[in-house]
């Protein structure tokens, strides 16, 4: 019973051995992460089109629930940039930003996403996330980073603009350029410049001045807080909000409220597909971060249990005024680097954020939106990495095509179309590649028992015996290819008496391929040519034996290719001698 | 120039060597096929919801165009049952049956289908047809056969009913059962019984009576003509059309007219997807028939040129009052068995049908629809083969799932949904299978240089050296699986110093898998474990060399697994000796 519980609640595992040292390490990590998260949570809420407190609420219950159900010891769960953008895109289709319906739709999205993740976890379907190839993810993240940064330009410029795709956004920005608020622009540009400088130069500068590493780190992490404080003070002291600078305004002083997602069938069905998409993208991002961090300490994470942990976190967000969350890259790395040992660090962060929600929210009244936009821009531009285009171009045109299509379609048609097309294109390209497998005609390397490609090596051959090595599993997409290939080879050749298919790299033969093999066998029989197999793997042979193919085979099955050569070459020699 | 032309017009090839013997063989085949095609063409037009002459027109120009551009010497092109059903389903969505718009939509469908096929052929994209796996095709044909037979029941019963799915059809038939016309039913049942008897028993009976084989064959093929003549005479002599028996009625006495498909954007976009579906299904059916027949004479067909041949045939149908056509199984086999040697047999058939269209159409005025329905039912029930369920169940659950889903969805939701789901399910099942590849831990078979699965064989192993043989190409769907597997093995093992990945069955490493290998390398390095590769194939190695992976590898690449064993086991031995 306890074992069963422990499988679904890893807290029962690490909780029993929790000690003072782990506690103090976790506490330090929590302080650093909390400082970083306060402005970030407000900013991502803005990106999702929600009131700022939603970002903080989305970081409290979810963190605690993930600490109970998740398997990664360093993952920090909460709002992240890409999921916030996806939320804005999905919720924007069913409700107007700023209305009560918008917030409810965001809760519903978190609820559906949480439910979907838990279901996937219970049925152990984590492998579905693998349909997102690395190049598609990289292309998608890069394009999303560009989209997100562009979407924040309106806050920096102090104008109102719209759009979910790059052309829409840019068009709308150009159309509203006459409305630019120059004070907002000054705040936005200086905050962005300052944050870029902090990110790139502050730490080395402090270290040069002799500041100890830990302090340098904390000061660097606190950069956004400094920008927040400085710009908030400027707005307050100079009364800039009366001169058109948009500010965060009133934020309720409250612990996360109890909230209910919407359960109307219309809303649920409209948000189902986006929720699935958000779940999968969030899961993939989260698992890759968790896996990387776990490996550094020779720990392991369980992807199926991660689904349950992230699902619980999203369900938590749905009932406490949040919106979809996942394990974020930046916050998790900070948590890990700051020395977090167990998920308790997350729980302490949650407490810190709860205190902030109750005590600090009045302080952000005069915080300009431009500063939050600057925080987002600096954070997401680090996600933009166009070098993936160059890397994949060098490695494989198919992968390059998938990346390029994902980037172009995400920018041009929006995040949902982009990622769906990316997945479809990767799958089609893979099927296309396997549809024309490499098949080598092989001969004997003299003096050995090895058989190699006759085009690449000097080998012995026998004109009456053709051996084809099939370098691919045989299934419906390439079954007919093999049929054509064998028939072409036999029709074009002269005096061929035997064909051997060498199956050393055939890992599967599905029913379509079985029928193709039967057709090949049948046709060769009609032509008076023998068909033989060699080096068939155990599992493939087991399966072939379930059909009549082996019984009907107009030839034999040889364990090793050399046995086939010995038997058929000799038989052929005897035939010649008899003539 | 001539060579180039000849590639696209195979007639230039066989036409040069055409002689008297081939002519007389082709002529005999043409007579037999023409007799068979007259009632069949009328019947399939009925199935497609078109006037009867459309079936004859669809058999004239297309046959001639295929004779010029096609590569199969025996394929007979014209209306077939499944494509007629698909036509009815597609055209029924844009126009009311019996209206002028309906006929124009059918022409447009043929036009789009022809254009699509020609384009596919010019770009040599025939491989796309491979996405239809054999089980999906078998399931689809079987379900279509059931749907078609059910759709004809209304003609046998003399009632009016509707529906595109089995539940709809059956529901509608039950609702109209009170309208049954008993004379029609009597004609329909006796025609059906007679045709089943002809198909099953006439030929053996005639042979027993000493009739020569050729005559027996022709008489058997003429069975439907006999049914047509007998029922037409009954209706005419007894005036049954006045007692509610529906008849074919007036059919224009004319050669195929010149017609124009509709070119309005609405119509084109509404019919584009069905046209693509019809093209692919028609192409697959046609190519498998053509391939089977070609193999019997050691001839070959060129699938890409077949696309052009079938495309030309459909374009021909579009401009001469027809509807989508393809190479039919029954008619092609009859043509082949009757001794057709070249596509000229098809051209002679076309002439026969043209004569019929001009001279014989008044004779079918009193032909009851019930007889045509009986012809269709008897023809399509031979397509229904539920044994595919049992065969795939025995061979592989994945293939069984694909067949069963295709059958159930085609019957339950219609032909288009059925075949699209079948393709999607096959692709997903294939990806699922490759997402969890077979990976065997191998050891040395004592006294040999062979390495085999440690679970299946008695082999030598070294606790410090783990060798994993990966039995699948590595790509995005299974990249993470390998990452997990290696990490699990190394985290769970004790004192592991080296891991060898044996790549003998790895035919591809895509960019995602490359990144996973890099991650594995990185993590093992962090753990102080070496990562080595063995038996990497030429093309895979070429590709890996384009990245930094081989340079960064925390270990070596061995040509043969035995080299890896010799080097790493020994190195390990020395390490032990040094302790």
Chain segment A16-41, per-residue pLDDT in tens: 777 888 888 888 888 888 888 888 88
Q: What is the mean pLDDT of chain B?
A: 86
Residue B61: both structure tokens together: 């120009």
Mean pLDDT of A121-131: 80
Mean pLDDT of B261-283: 90
Supply the pLDDT for residue B298: 67
Q: Which residues of chain B make contact with A430, given a CB cutoff of 8 A?
A: 475-477, 510
Work out the burial of residue A384: count CB atoms within 10 Å of its CB; fewer than 13 is exposed, 13-18 middle, 19 or more buried. Answer: middle
Which residue in chain A has the smallest CA separation from B477? Answer: A130
Do the Cβ atoms of A473 and B478 come within 8 Å?
no
Do the Cβ atoms of A130 and B295 come within 8 Å?
no
Mean pLDDT of B185-192: 94
Do the Cβ atoms of A134 and B508 come within 8 Å?
no
Which residue in chain B has the smallest CA separation from A481? Answer: B127
Report the percent of chain A where pLDDT is more than 90: 32
Statement: residue A316 has pLDDT above 90 = yes
Supply the pLDDT for residue B224: 82
Supply the pLDDT for residue B4: 66
Which residue in chain B has the smallest CA separation from A546? Answer: B395
Do the Cβ atoms of A484 and B456 come within 8 Å?
no
Which of B427, B512, B544, B546 should be substituted to probe chain A, the one whose Cβ sees the most A Cβ atoms within 10 Å?
A: B512
Higher-confidence residue of B189 and B205: namely B189
Statement: residue B576 has pLDDT above 70 = no
Phi, psi of A221, deg, nearest 5:
-60, -30
Nearest-angstrom CA–CA distance, B181 and B183: 6
A424 CB neighbour count, 10 Å cutoff: 14
Half-sphere exposure of B154 (CA within 13 A, CB side): 19
Residue pLDDT, tens place only, B35-56: 888 888 888 998 899 998 999 9
Report the percent of chain B where pLDDT is more than 90: 32
Which residue in chain B has the smallest CA separation from A426? Answer: B476
Do the Cβ atoms of B427 and A430 come within 8 Å?
no
- Choose the weakest-confidence range: A548-557, B214-223, B273-282: B214-223
- Quickly state the pLDDT bin for B572 (edges 50, 70, 90): very low
Statement: residue B172 has pLDDT above 90 = yes
Q: Give, in degrees to the nearest 5, the angle at Cα A230 between A225 and A233.
A: 120
Supply the pLDDT for residue B7: 67
Mean pLDDT of A455-469: 88
- Quickly state the pLDDT bin for A211 (edges 50, 70, 90): confident
> What does the domain layout of chain B look like in residue ranges?
2-425, 439-578
Residue pLDDT, tens place only, A488-509: 888 887 788 999 999 988 888 9
Supply the pLDDT for residue A575: 41
Statement: residue B433 has pLDDT above 90 = no
Do the Cβ atoms of A134 and B436 come within 8 Å?
no
Mean pLDDT of B236-243: 90
Do the Cβ atoms of B395 and A523 come within 8 Å?
no
Which residue in chain A has the smallest CA separation from B479? Answer: A130
Which residue in chain A has the smallest CA separation from B515? Answer: A134
Statement: residue B573 has pLDDT above 50 = no
Nearest-angstrom CA–CA distance, A422 and A404: 9
- Choose the weakest-confidence range: A86-100, A397-411, B18-32, B142-156: B18-32
Residues 6+ apart with CB under 8 A from A487: A520, A523, B295, B300
Do the Cβ atoms of A394 and B476 come within 8 Å?
no
Torsion of CA B220, B226, B227, B229, to 10 degrees: 160
Report the percent of chain B where pLDDT is more than 70: 96
Considering only the beta carbons, identify the residue of B130, B287, B300 that sits closest to A477: B130
Which residue in chain B has the smallest CA separation from A287? Answer: B480
Statement: residue A158 has pLDDT above 70 = yes
Residue spans of alpha helices (H) in A396-510:
397-413, 415-435, 476-492
Reported as type and span, the H/E element at residue A443 is strand A439-444
* C-alpha distance from B128 to closest chain A C-alpha (Å): 8
Do the Cβ atoms of B303 and A488 come within 8 Å?
no
- Quickly state the pLDDT bin for A54 (edges 50, 70, 90): very high
Which residue in chain B has the smallest CA separation from A456? Answer: B538
Is the C-alpha dihedral spanning B424, B425, B426, B429 positive or negative? positive
- Name the residue with tokens 């995040």: A415
Q: Which residues of chain B make contact with A505, given a CB cutoff of 8 A?
A: 504-505, 507, 537
Which residue in chain A has the smallest CA separation from B284? Answer: A480
Q: Which residues of chain B make contact with A550, given a CB cutoff of 8 A?
A: none
Residue B355: both structure tokens together: 């004569």
Supply the pLDDT for residue B111: 96
Higher-confidence residue of B572 and A300: namely A300
* C-alpha distance from B525 to closest chain A C-alpha (Å): 10
Do the Cβ atoms of B511 and A135 come within 8 Å?
yes
- Choose the weakest-confidence range: A252-256, A328-332, A552-556, B547-551: A328-332
Which SS3 state, helix, strand or coil, does residue B293 take? helix
Mean pLDDT of B1-27: 74
Q: Which residues of chain A make contact with B295, given a CB cutoff of 8 A?
A: 487, 519, 522-523, 526
- Quickly state the pLDDT bin for A297 (edges 50, 70, 90): confident
Do the Cβ atoms of A291 and B483 come within 8 Å?
yes
- Choose the weakest-confidence range: A110-114, A131-135, B41-45: A131-135
- Quickly state the pLDDT bin for A577 (edges 50, 70, 90): very low
Q: Which residues of chain A make contact with B546, given a CB cutoff of 8 A?
A: 394-395
Is the C-alpha dihedral spanning A358, A359, A360, A361 positive or negative? positive
Mean pLDDT of A404-433: 88
Which residue in chain B has the smallest CA separation from A303? Answer: B484
Fold of B439-578: Transcription Regulator spoIIAA (3.30.750)
Mean pLDDT of B355-380: 87
Q: Which residues of chain A make contact with B131, given a CB cutoff of 8 A?
A: 431, 476-477
| Cα radius of gyration rounded to whole Å, chain A | 31
Work out the burial of residue B384: count CB atoms within 10 Å of its CB; fewer than 13 is exposed, 13-18 middle, 19 or more buried. Answer: middle
The A465-470 sheet, strands edge to edge: A451-453, A439-444, A465-470, A498-502, A530-534, A557-558
Interface predicted TM-score (ipTM): 0.76
Nearest-angstrom CA–CA distance, B528 and A302: 23
Supply the pLDDT for residue A336: 83
Which residue in chain B has the smallest CA separation from A389? Answer: B511
Which SS3 state, helix, strand or coil, does residue A534 take? strand
- Quickly state the pLDDT bin for B182 (edges 50, 70, 90): very high
* C-alpha distance from B402 to closest chain A C-alpha (Å): 11
Q: Are B572 and B497 in contact (CB under 8 A)?
A: yes
- Choose the weakest-confidence range: A516-520, A526-530, A571-575, B27-31: A571-575
Do the Cβ atoms of A539 and B438 come within 8 Å?
yes
* C-alpha distance from A573 to closest chain B C-alpha (Å): 26
Which residue in chain A has the smallest CA separation from B134? Answer: A512
Considering only the beta carbons, identify the residue of B296, B456, B507 that sits closest to A438: B507
Q: Which residues of chain B make contact with A519, given a CB cutoff of 8 A?
A: 291-292, 295
* C-alpha distance from A395 to closest chain B C-alpha (Å): 6
Torsion of CA B80, B82, B84, B86, to 10 degrees: -150
Which of A285, A430, A484 should be substituted to probe chain B, the one whose Cβ sees the most B Cβ atoms within 10 Å?
A: A430
Nearest-angstrom CA–CA distance, A97 and B177: 57
Q: Which residues of chain B make contact with A392, given a CB cutoff of 8 A?
A: 511
Q: What is the mean pLDDT of chain A?
A: 86
Statement: residue B246 has pLDDT above 80 = yes
B458 CB neighbour count, 10 Å cutoff: 9
Residue pLDDT, tens place only, A240-275: 988 888 988 888 888 888 898 988 888 998 899 899
Treating both helix axes as pointing N-terminal to C-terminal, what angle do A329-337 and A344-359 enclose, rounded to 10 degrees? 110
Q: Which residues of chain B make contact with A522, given a CB cutoff of 8 A?
A: 295
Closest CA to B330 of B281, B294, B285, B363: B285
- Quickly state the pLDDT bin for A312 (edges 50, 70, 90): very high
- Choose the weakest-confidence range: A528-532, B17-21, B139-143, B179-183: B17-21
Q: Which residues of chain A make contact with B284, given a CB cutoff of 8 A?
A: none
Mean pLDDT of B150-177: 90
Supply the pLDDT for residue B220: 80
Q: Which residues of chain A make contact with B522, given a CB cutoff of 8 A?
A: 295
Residue B143: both structure tokens together: 């379900």
Dmax over CA atoms of chain A, in Å, equals: 110
Task: Cite the beta strand spans of B119-181 per DSSP E.
Answer: none
Do the Cβ atoms of B505 and A510 come within 8 Å?
no
Nearest-angstrom CA–CA distance, A390 and A399: 11
Which of B134, B294, B394, B561 should be substituted to probe chain A, the one whose Cβ sees the most A Cβ atoms within 10 Å?
A: B134
Residue pLDDT, tens place only, B464-516: 899 999 988 899 888 888 888 898 888 887 788 999 999 988 888 999 899 88
Nearest-angstrom CA–CA distance, A465 and A460: 11
Which SS3 state, helix, strand or coil, does residue B574 take? helix
Do the Cβ atoms of B472 and A507 come within 8 Å?
yes
Q: Which residues of chain A make contact with B430, given a CB cutoff of 8 A?
A: 475-477, 510
Q: Which residues of chain B make contact with A512, given a CB cutoff of 8 A?
A: 133-135, 399
- Quickly state the pLDDT bin for B193 (edges 50, 70, 90): very high
- Quickly state the pLDDT bin for A579 (edges 50, 70, 90): very low
Residue pLDDT, tens place only, B378-420: 888 888 888 889 989 999 888 999 999 999 999 999 888 888 8
- Quickly state the pLDDT bin for B556 (edges 50, 70, 90): very high
Do the Cβ atoms of A473 and B475 come within 8 Å?
no
* C-alpha distance from A476 to closest chain B C-alpha (Å): 5
* C-alpha distance from B246 to closest chain A C-alpha (Å): 44
Considering only the beta carbons, identify the residue of B434, B437, B491 that sits closest to A300: B491
């Amino acid at each position: 019973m306890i074992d069963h519980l422990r499988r679904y609640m890893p807290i029962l595992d690490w909780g029993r051995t929790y000690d003072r040292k782990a506690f103090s390490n976790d506490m330090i990590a929590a302080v650093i992460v909390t400082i970083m998260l306060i402005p970030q949570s407000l900013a991502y809420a803005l990106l999702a089109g929600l009131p700022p407190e939603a970002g903080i609420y989305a970081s409290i219950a979810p963190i605690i629930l993930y600490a109970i159900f998740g398997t990664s010891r360093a993952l920090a769960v909460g709002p992240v940039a890409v999921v916030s953008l996806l939320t804005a895109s999905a919720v924007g289709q069913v409700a107007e930003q700023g209305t009560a319906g918008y917030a409810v739709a965001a809760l519903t999205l978190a609820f559906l996403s949480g439910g979907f993740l838990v279901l996937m976890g219970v049925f152990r379907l984590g492998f579905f996330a693998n349909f997102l190839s690395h190049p598609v993810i990289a292309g998608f993240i890069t394009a999303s980073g560009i989209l997100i940064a562009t979407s924040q330009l309106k806050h920096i410029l102090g104008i109102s603009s719209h759009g979910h795709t790059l052309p829409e956004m840019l068009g709308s920005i150009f159309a509203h350029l006459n409305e630019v608020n120059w004070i907002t622009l000054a705040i936005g540009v200086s905050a962005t410049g300052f944050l870029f400088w902090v990110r790139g130069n502050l730490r080395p500068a402090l270290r040069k001045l002799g500041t100890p590493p830990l302090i340098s780190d904390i000061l660097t992490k606190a950069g956004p807080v400094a920008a927040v404080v400085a710009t908030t003070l400027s707005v307050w002291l100079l009364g800039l909000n009366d001169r058109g600078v948009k500010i965060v305004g009133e934020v309720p002083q409250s612990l996360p409220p109890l909230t209910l997602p919407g359960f109307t069938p219309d809303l649920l069905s409209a948000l189902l597909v986006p929720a699935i998409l958000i779940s999968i993208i969030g899961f993939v991002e989260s698992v890759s971060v968790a896996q990387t961090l776990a490996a550094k300490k020779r720990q392991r994470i369980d992807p199926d249990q991660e689904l349950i942990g992230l699902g619980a976190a999203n369900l938590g967000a749905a009932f406490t005024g949040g919106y979809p969350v996942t394990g974020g890259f930046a916050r998790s790395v900070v948590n890990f680097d700051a020395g977090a040992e167990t998920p308790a660090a997350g729980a302490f962060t949650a407490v810190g954020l709860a205190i902030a929600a109750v005590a600090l929210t009045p302080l952000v009244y005069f915080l300009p939106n431009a500063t939050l936009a600057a925080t987002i821009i600096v954070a997401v531009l680090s996600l933009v990495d166009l070098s993936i285009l160059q890397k994949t171009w060098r490695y494989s045109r198919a992968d390059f095509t998938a990346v390029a299509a994902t980037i172009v379609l995400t920018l041009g048609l929006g995040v949902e179309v982009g990622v769906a097309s990316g997945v479809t294109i990767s799958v089609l390209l893979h099927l296309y590649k396997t549809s024309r497998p490499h098949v080598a005609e092989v001969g004997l390397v003299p003096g050995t028992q090895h058989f190699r490609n006759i085009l690449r090596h000097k080998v012995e051959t026998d004109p009456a015996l053709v051996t084809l090595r099939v370098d691919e599993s045989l299934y419906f997409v390439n079954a007919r290819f093999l049929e054509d290939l064998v028939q072409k080879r036999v029709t074009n050749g002269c005096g061929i008496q035997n064909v051997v298919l060498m199956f050393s790299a055939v890992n599967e033969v599905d029913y379509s391929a079985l029928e193709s093999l039967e057709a090949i066998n049948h046709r060769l029989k009609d032509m008076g040519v023998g068909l033989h197999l060699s080096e068939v793997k155990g599992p493939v042979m087991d399966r072939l034996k379930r059909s009549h193919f082996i019984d009907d085979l107009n030839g034999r099955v040889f364990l090793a290719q050399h046995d086939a050569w010995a038997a058929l070459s000799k038989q052929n020699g005897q035939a010649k001698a008899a003539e």
